[in-house]
Chain A
Amino acid sequence: MRLYSLSVLYKGDARVQLLKAASDVSTFNFFQRSSVQEFMTFTSQLIVERSQLGSRASVKEQDYLCHVYVRPDGLAGVVIADNEYPSRVCFTLLDKVLEEFSRQVSRADWPLGSPATIGYAALDEYLSKYQNPRDADPMSRVQAELDETKIILHNTMESLLERGEKLDDLVSKSEVLGVQSKAFYKTARKQNSCCEIM
């Protein structure tokens, strides 16, 4: 069971801002790593864009699960994990990180922040610590009820999109994805194994 990325974003009125991110791409092929990272950022942003304020959701895409929590104040977090990793622990992690982030980084910085300007350094540590859910969060088992019925489950990324919207279009328009990543996406699509690197 693995965690691949942990990011903090801000869902503003006009757009979603990536504030800070940490990722662990060590299990991926060396040459794919930067593409994978870009796709994870792309995915995280897209998911937050399409989620409502004050909601929690899990989006399934092939072997990956993206867990998102968008707080009512617009601060949002996304964890990308594999199928085995318990989702309960992911949501606990998100709660914790967002809470800490909101205490350390002033609200005024959120709407226009970026990874370069935001001073919050704990994400990498959290990501690595939570690779083993039992060590990181021994109490999660007996934790108070996190009402799981409130977590929306999406079976594919496509269910997040609006009618007529295509993931291909979003990928090609994306500012976050580099040329190489976009090309890779196209070829993977053709081989009928969408985003296989992810």
Chain B
Amino acid sequence: RWVLQQLIQENSLPTLVNKGNLGAAPVERIHRLVQDEMDVCSEAAGRYPSNYNAWSHRIWVLQNVGRLTIKILLDELSSTKYWVSMHVSDHSGFHYRQFLLKSLIGRTANDDNTLVQNQMGNEQNSSLQTEEECEGAEAVCVEEQSVDIPRYLEEELDFCTDLINTYPGHETLWCHRRRVFYLQHHLINKLPLLSVVVSSADSSDETLHNSHPNPATSHTAQAMDVDGLNESSSKQSYTQETKRLKRAPMQDSFGPEVEYRFIDKVLSTCRDVDQARFATAYRKWASVTPFFIALLQP
């Protein structure tokens, strides 16, 4: 990492000075650097299951060297797709995809606030507008293009469905599903993105119970634990907390009904004991969240 940091410092000066002319060259170099690092990370990730270090380095590289450009995020999304489908129990790999999706959402939200507001309504129109503005411009403008986030999230959910059906009994896939589902609804409802969730994630179950004196909720929270999904790793408990705080509003193309249909289908066709257990737990999650989210609404 130290080496990379030195390179970043070197590059930041020239780019400022030669903005118009040599803007392209450092970008090229950066891309190559990032690509090399990605390859190293993939190699490391392949050697040890759930290699937290490799993946967090990968994230660091994106954040510091690649500066989270939309192009890089999208490239990474497509290049990791095959890897995660061949490593279906590697939670870190999927967490990385969740990070990419989350960053994409964050990116598009920052670049153009009006774009986010328009997203519910005239998605098509606004994307056309910005594309025209960016016609023939530099890489900088790529970031201002509207990225069809809902589509990516839906694709991710479909991808997850496909994997769940092909490889029954992998908890990682179900966890991933919950996260993607949450991201979809974050987008629609413009809930504060995970910062609220993060602060609650560290708090124990008791804190959550204290804030909602509803006996039913504490019981279901217990049920979730009993389901055995509350593992000791912080990542798992984080997921548990987030799933409690997520909303499932009534939407057209997705929402709890769609999820219920999917769950029922899985339960009726699967023969794997674990798969049935995960599907049932997911169903519980989907039915419980509305209570919690209603309380989170500003």
- Chains A and B belong together in one complex: yes
Identify the A interface with B (CB < 8 A): 1, 27, 83-84, 86, 132-134, 141, 148
Which residues from 72 to 107 on chain B have a C-beta closer than 8 Å to any C-beta of chain A? 85-89
A-B contact count (CB 8 A): 21
Contact of A141 among B85, B86, B165 (CB under 8 A): B165
- Does B199 interact with chain A (Cβ within 8 Å)? no
Which residues of B sit under 8 angstroms from A86, Cβ to Cβ? 166-168
Contact of A1 among B47, B88, B271 (CB under 8 A): B88
Which residues of B sit under 8 angstroms from A83, Cβ to Cβ? 89
Q: Tell me, in angstroms, the Cα distance from A132 to B87 when the chains sit together.
A: 11
A196 to chain B, nearest CB (A): 13
Residue of B nearest to A85 (CB): B167
Which residues of A sit under 8 angstroms from B46, Cβ to Cβ? 27
Which residues of B sit under 8 angstroms from A132, Cβ to Cβ? 86
Contact with A along B166-199 (1 / 0, CB 8 A): 1110100000000000000000000000000000
Q: Tell me, in angstroms, the Cα distance from A86 to B87 when the chains sit together.
A: 12
Contact B166 A1 (CB under 8 A): no
Residue of A nearest to B170 (CB): A84
Contact B86 A148 (CB under 8 A): no
Q: Tell me, in angstroms, the Cα distance from A27 to B47 when the chains sit together.
A: 8
Residue of B nearest to A148 (CB): B271
Contact B88 A84 (CB under 8 A): yes
Looking at A27, A83, A84, A148, the one whose CB has the most chain B CB atoms below 10 A away is: A84
Which residues of A sit under 8 angstroms from B85, Cβ to Cβ? 134
B112 to chain A, nearest CB (A): 39
Which residues of B sit under 8 angstroms from A141, Cβ to Cβ? 165-166
A137 to chain B, nearest CB (A): 10
Identify the B interface with A (CB < 8 A): 46-47, 85-89, 165-168, 170, 271
Q: Tell me, in angstroms, the Cα distance from A16 to B218 when the chains sit together.
A: 59
Main secondary structure of the interface of A (DSSP, over half): loop
Which residues of A sit under 8 angstroms from B87, Cβ to Cβ? 1, 84
Which residues of B sit under 8 angstroms from A84, Cβ to Cβ? 87-89, 167, 170
Q: Tell me, in angstroms, the Cα distance from A84 to B88 when the chains sit together.
A: 7
Q: Tell me, in angstroms, the Cα distance from A27 to B166 when the chains sit together.
A: 24
Q: Tell me, in angstroms, the Cα distance from A132 to B82 when the chains sit together.
A: 10
B291 to chain A, nearest CB (A): 36
Which residues of A sit under 8 angstroms from B166, Cβ to Cβ? 86, 133-134, 141
Q: Tell me, in angstroms, the Cα distance from A108 to B170 when the chains sit together.
A: 44
Contact B86 A1 (CB under 8 A): yes
Q: Tell me, in angstroms, the Cα distance from A86 to B46 when the chains sit together.
A: 18
Which residues of A sit under 8 angstroms from B86, Cβ to Cβ? 1, 132
Residue of A nearest to B46 (CB): A27
Q: Tell me, in angstroms, the Cα distance from A134 to B163 when the chains sit together.
A: 10
Listed A/B pairs (5) with beta-carbon separation below 8 Å: A1-B88, A84-B88, A86-B166, A134-B166, A141-B165
Q: Which 5 A-B pairs have the closest CB atoms?
A: A84-B89, A84-B88, A86-B167, A1-B86, A141-B166
Which residues of A sit under 8 angstroms from B170, Cβ to Cβ? 84
Looking at A132, A133, A134, the one whose CB has the most chain B CB atoms below 10 A away is: A134
Give me 7 other A-B pairs in contact (C-beta within 8 A), A1-B86, A141-B166 excluded: A1-B87, A27-B47, A84-B88, A86-B168, A133-B166, A134-B166, A148-B271
B101 to chain A, nearest CB (A): 23
A64 to chain B, nearest CB (A): 13
B172 to chain A, nearest CB (A): 10
Q: Tell me, in angstroms, the Cα distance from A86 to B170 when the chains sit together.
A: 11
Q: Tell me, in angstroms, the Cα distance from A86 to B173 when the chains sit together.
A: 14
B157 to chain A, nearest CB (A): 19
Which residues of A sit under 8 angstroms from B165, Cβ to Cβ? 141
Residue of B nearest to A133 (CB): B166
Q: Tell me, in angstroms, the Cα distance from A3 to B85 when the chains sit together.
A: 15
Residue of B nearest to A86 (CB): B167
Residue of A nearest to B271 (CB): A148
Residue of A nearest to B163 (CB): A134
A155 to chain B, nearest CB (A): 15
Which residues of B sit under 8 angstroms from A134, Cβ to Cβ? 85, 166
B85 to chain A, nearest CB (A): 8
Residue of B nearest to A132 (CB): B86
Looking at B46, B87, B89, B166, the one whose CB has the most chain A CB atoms below 10 A away is: B166
Q: Tell me, in angstroms, the Cα distance from A27 to B49 when the chains sit together.
A: 13
B273 to chain A, nearest CB (A): 10
Which residues of B sit under 8 angstroms from A148, Cβ to Cβ? 271
Residue of B nearest to A63 (CB): B49
A83 to chain B, nearest CB (A): 7
B147 to chain A, nearest CB (A): 28
